[in-house]
Structure 1
């Protein structure tokens, strides 16, 4: 899906840029502003076509497909205009509460959880869908979901998951 999305957006920007350039050139009324905008749009289209706009690090996936394998918990993970997986199945909890925020914005994401780690999921969705491990969905609302026994004197994983104009699916490994 990423290939077609990048090619499609690149072709759109190239076409719009070329049309602006041709209109500026053939009307003989050369407006520097139009010419500059046209050139910028063409260059942006070429940039997108050759995948120069994607980004991934240990916490973010932007404009690409990717996997983030988490061993050491960080506070926030984001999937933006992308398709990605955040693998939390190897996270160890040692008598402390570890808080994580996972966001999908105009994206599709999966979060892989270990069923043996007590987890509290605070799910919220705005113009998107968030699917919980029991396959129930959160759409235009908020919901809490628990995996295992959660107590204040025992460590657990607390995940604030949100989907904005996208889909986030939380699954457990078997």
Structure 2
């Protein structure tokens, strides 16, 4: 019996010291990205009514029962549907209408080979470009800002996602 306890303690010690197998949950924890604002305690109710979000665009809270399919849009999408996409683990990169075509193309490349990224214009947002995930937001001015791919990596299907593993297709376009 003492040998089993000793082996258990050794195994625990290796895991606690970081020399054992990596912890998959810890690997999914996002690193600190300068400028990310967090909005905790957001509701997840599906509603049929209009919603006014305190952030522009909304970073979570009550939303449409139908989500927006992830992808690249050249027209604004319905905000409450996009927020539902966030609930599924999407990252929504929105931009002010009138952004130069080259900048939009740079943003669109961020969605390449990504299952849960949504790109669209968003009239009325205060920043030039806004990266939004459930409860997280980052505003940037340059579409080549290295924090954008870092934000996608950290928060697409990230630990803040209320419904991880849910699809970002099968909803509606826009």
TM-score range, shorter chain: under 0.3
More strand by share: 1
Over alpha carbons, which structure has the higher Rg? Answer: 1
Give the structure, 1 or 2, with the largest relative contact order (CA under 8 Å, sep 6 or more). Answer: 2
